[in-house]
Structure 1
Amino acid sequence: MPSEGLRAALRDTPYWEWLRDALGRPHTIARSFAAAGRRTGRAPLPGAPGWTADEAARALLLAALPPGRVAEETGELYRYGDADEKRAVLKALHLLPIGPDAVPLLHDAIRTNDARLLAAALGPCAVHLDQAAWRQAVLKCVFMGVPLAGVHDLDRRADAELAAMLAAFADEREAAGRPMPGDAADLLRRLTSEET
């Protein structure tokens, strides 16, 4: 969702006045970013599907950073943040003028065992991941039970090598008497039928 949509969804909330004031003080964005969970709560945000109030507020705060400070401050807020703050950074990356500088943050999130961070790392900013890293992240989603519906651009990027990785994983699961997650099995079927 573009930042204008997040702003519109937040405008009708009781905490809009606090956020508007925070957005007007770029030098205190880091403090406001940390306080957003307390000030806005973490409930789903009506009008912004897939976003909670604190995530949307944090995304707008990051977008309000001066352009020359965005990459560095976003990286610091991610590194020192708790899981909710890290997830908000990951979800906001595609709204920021960061581009490939986001890749180290994506790699860090993919290495974690936090399914929410993994899912957020495979949002729109995952376009900057090279194909090998992207495939490994998708396979990790399957292993951890993260729904593949949230993987940005899945149908376009999925390829024969990912199909081979999924087939090997399916064989392992079958040998262990465990089923393959339904969405992964569907993806494997689609990729296999495309090849034939």
Structure 2
Amino acid sequence: MTAAPTLAAALTDEGRGRLTDLIQEVRHDPAAARRRFPAAARLVGRGPTDPSDPLGVTTPLVEDLVRGALLEALAAARDGAADRILQDVEALYRDGDADEKRAVLRALPALPVGAGALPLLRDALRTNDTRLVAAAMGAYATAHLDDDAWRQGVLKCLFVGVPVAAVDGLDRRADAELVRMVTAYAEERRAAGREVPADATRILTDHAPTP
């Protein structure tokens, strides 16, 4: 995840200056990331990047991008040492609130941690926090979750009400097994007299096997 151009356009001149200062501080002293990460939104800026998604479910919030920029600066300060970066990322996720956890998840595709951060995705997908689940099903999940875990992530989105528009790579990774699972989910909903979510219908329509 990069900090520009979306982030630059969303910040005031003062916010851009503060972000530059924070990035330089973290590059000079990686330990500063632990202090600055929680306060980054207050210091630099916050709010939606897309007014139609005010909670940042399908699009990143300004504070997600701000914190992502700090994580990229931290990775640079660690000279790309994957083990050290992963330790930093795990600590920021573990000690962070839901907003900070979401920012870590959104930043993972830009960080040189390989598949090492998969436990963070699994943790997020065990929650019912829609913003964490949505963030967990981004590009990092597409690249690193195995097929079964990825399909379970899609089902989790349907269960908790995360729009499947938040699922990166859905059209590329959807397969017959996902269709089977969503079909079973839809049948269970109908049998219980409950409405089938429009996103489930969309998956079944868009990815139905050809005759």
Q: TM-score, normalised by structure 1?
A: 0.91
For structure 2, which runs of at least 5 residues remain unmatched after alignment?
51-57
8 Å CA contact 1:160–1:195 kept in 2: the answer is no
- 1:30 paired with 2:34, answer yes
Counterpart CA distance in 1 for 2:46 and 2:65 is 10
Contact 1:112 1:118 in 2 (8 A): yes
Counterparts of residues 46-195 of structure 1 (less than 5 Å) = 50-65=59-74, 66=78, 67-68=80-81, 69-126=84-141, 127-192=143-208, 194-195=209-210
Cα gap change, 1:8 to 1:41, in 2 (>3 Å): closer
Residue aligned with 2:37, SS: helix
What's the offset of the Cα at 1:11? 6.0
- Contact 1:122 / 1:150 at 8 angstroms: preserved in 2? yes
Which residue of the partner structure matches residue 43 of structure 1?
Answer: 47
Match of 1:20 in 2: 20
Q: In structure 2, do the counterparts of structure 1 residues 130 and 44 end up closer, same or farther at CA, with 3 Å as the change threshold?
A: same
| Larger RCO, structure (CA 8 Å, separation 6 or more) | 2
Superposition deviation, residue 50 in structure 1: 2.2
- Identical-residue share of aligned pairs (%): 48
The residue type paired with residue 33 of structure 1 is: F
Q: Is the 8 A contact 2:157 2:163 kept in 1?
A: yes
Task: Quote the RMSD (CA, aligned, Å).
Answer: 2.0
2:15 counterpart letter in structure 1 = Y
Q: TM-score when scaled to structure 2?
A: 0.85
- Tell me how far apart the structure 2 counterparts of residues 159 and 21 of structure 1 sit (CA, whole Å): 46
